[in-house]
């Protein structure tokens, strides 16, 4: 993508900053071609001093400056953000929303007819450029628009395209999933401390165990159950632990957690 393309951010919070960092790290554009507006002047000064981006005094200024505009605001702030840019847009500009639970139809209703829109559900590991993002296109977003957006979010991790009707499932899985994984990590650390390991040692071992196992699944391409069988010896330690987890219903609990979070996402979207 040529450097002359300008990107705009309405909202400079953690996720907005992660995307800015990803754009720059992947050399998708120069810092001077990133335009940012945030309601906090202090936040803008921090982004400017850290990344060299161009700070703007209003959402309208961002809309006047950028070909692709990220709506990186909280859901409750979406309506005023859209009001601030609607009259400054043309159909050549791509709108990319990362506001959780806000459907494309709501954004489209507030913007000019024919505006290309892509809705994204990123997750918090994007803050360390290890995110998992799902993207859904509005009816005016072309393959070219989607390719651009996928490239942007792949600069902060993994990105896939899904139908918008699946975004609640994505929210329950990868959107809320870091919370489930963090609980598992915390529990494993506490178990190690219970058994006498120093907390720092327990933390290091657990983090590497989790990340290494994910890498094993990714690199081999094998089914998790198949890999699990490889390390589960008859009468050994792993099968003893797995037996307890099955007795306590870990598998069903995780499945129910994803389902509950997806249903909650649907409820919030309807509101």
Residue 75 assigned as binding residue: yes
Structure tokens at 192: 């190690």
With bands split at pLDDT 50, 70 and 90, how would you rate the model's confidence at 265? confident
With bands split at pLDDT 50, 70 and 90, how would you rate the model's confidence at 1? very low
Task: Write the pLDDT tens digit of every residue in 160-182.
Answer: 999 999 999 999 999 999 999 99
Per-residue pLDDT at 4 exceeds 70: no
- Helical H runs in the chain? 14-25, 41-51, 59-65, 78-85, 104-110, 143-154, 167-170, 177-194, 199-220, 224-230, 237-248, 250-270
Mean pLDDT score of the chain: 94
3-state secondary structure of 74: coil
Structure tokens at 201: 């040692």
Per-residue pLDDT at 122 exceeds 80: yes
Residue 85 assigned as binding residue: no
In this structure, are residues 63 and 93 in contact, taking their beta carbons and an 8 Å threshold? yes
Per-residue pLDDT at 271 exceeds 90: no
Residue 12 assigned as binding residue: yes
Cα gap 93→115, rounded to integer Å? 7
Go through the domains of the chain in sequence order and give each one's CATH number.
7-167 (3.40.50.720), 175-270 (1.10.3730.10)
* Residue that the structure tokens 């995110």 belong to: 131
With bands split at pLDDT 50, 70 and 90, how would you rate the model's confidence at 112? very high
Cα gap 3→168, rounded to integer Å? 34
Residue 11 assigned as binding residue: yes
Q: What is the pLDDT of residue 3?
A: 46
132 phi and psi angles, rounded to 5 deg: -130, 115
Of the listed ranges 20-24, 184-188, 218-222, the least confidently predicted one is 20-24
User: How many Cα atoms within 13 Å fall on the side-chain side of residue 246?
Assistant: 6
In this structure, are residues 17 and 47 in contact, taking their beta carbons and an 8 Å threshold? yes
Residue 228 assigned as binding residue: no
For residues 249-266, average pLDDT: 95
Residue 73 assigned as binding residue: yes
Residue 234 assigned as binding residue: no
Structure tokens at 108: 């489209």
Task: Write the pLDDT tens digit of every residue in 200-255.
Answer: 999 999 999 999 999 999 999 999 999 999 999 999 999 999 999 999 999 999 99
Residue of 99 and 204 predicted with greater confidence: 204
User: pTM to 2 decimals?
Assistant: 0.88
Residue 62 assigned as binding residue: no
Residue 14 assigned as binding residue: yes
Share of the chain above pLDDT 90, in %: 86
- The candidate with the shortest Cα–Cα distance to 152, out of 229, 97, 198, is 97
Share of the chain above pLDDT 70, in %: 98
Residue 118 assigned as binding residue: no
């Amino acid at each position: 993508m040529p450097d002359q393309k300008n990107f705009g951010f309405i909202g400079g919070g953690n996720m907005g900053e992660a995307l800015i960092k990803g754009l720059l790290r992947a050399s998708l554009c120069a810092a001077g071609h990133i335009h940012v507006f945030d309601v906090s002047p202090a936040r803008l000064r921090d982004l400017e001093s850290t990344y060299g981006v161009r700070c703007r005094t209003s959402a309208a200024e961002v809309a006047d400056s950028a070909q692709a505009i990220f709506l990186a605001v909280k859901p409750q702030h979406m309506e005023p953000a859209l009001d601030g840019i609607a009259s400054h847009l043309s159909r050549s500009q791509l709108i990319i929303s990362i506001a959780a639970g806000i459907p494309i139809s709501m954004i489209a209703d507030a913007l000019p007819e024919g505006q290309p829109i892509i809705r994204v559900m990123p997750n918090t590991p994007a803050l360390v450029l290890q995110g998992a993002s799902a993207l859904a296109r509005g009816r005016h977003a072309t393959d070219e628009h989607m390719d651009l957006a996928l490239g942007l979010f792949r600069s902060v991790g993994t990105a896939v395209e899904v139908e918008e009707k699946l975004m609640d499932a994505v929210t329950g899985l990868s959107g809320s999933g870091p919370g489930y994984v963090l609980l598992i990590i915390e529990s494993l650390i506490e178990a190690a401390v219970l058994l006498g390991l120093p907390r720092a040692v327990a933390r290091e071992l657990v983090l590497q165990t989790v990340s290494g196992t994910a890498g094993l699944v990714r690199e081999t391409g094998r089914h998790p159950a198949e890999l699990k069988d490889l390390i589960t010896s008859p009468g050994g330690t792993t099968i003893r632990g797995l037996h307890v987890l099955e007795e306590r219903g870990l598998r069903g609990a995780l499945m129910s957690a994803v389902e509950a979070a997806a249903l909650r996402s649907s409820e919030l979207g309807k509101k």
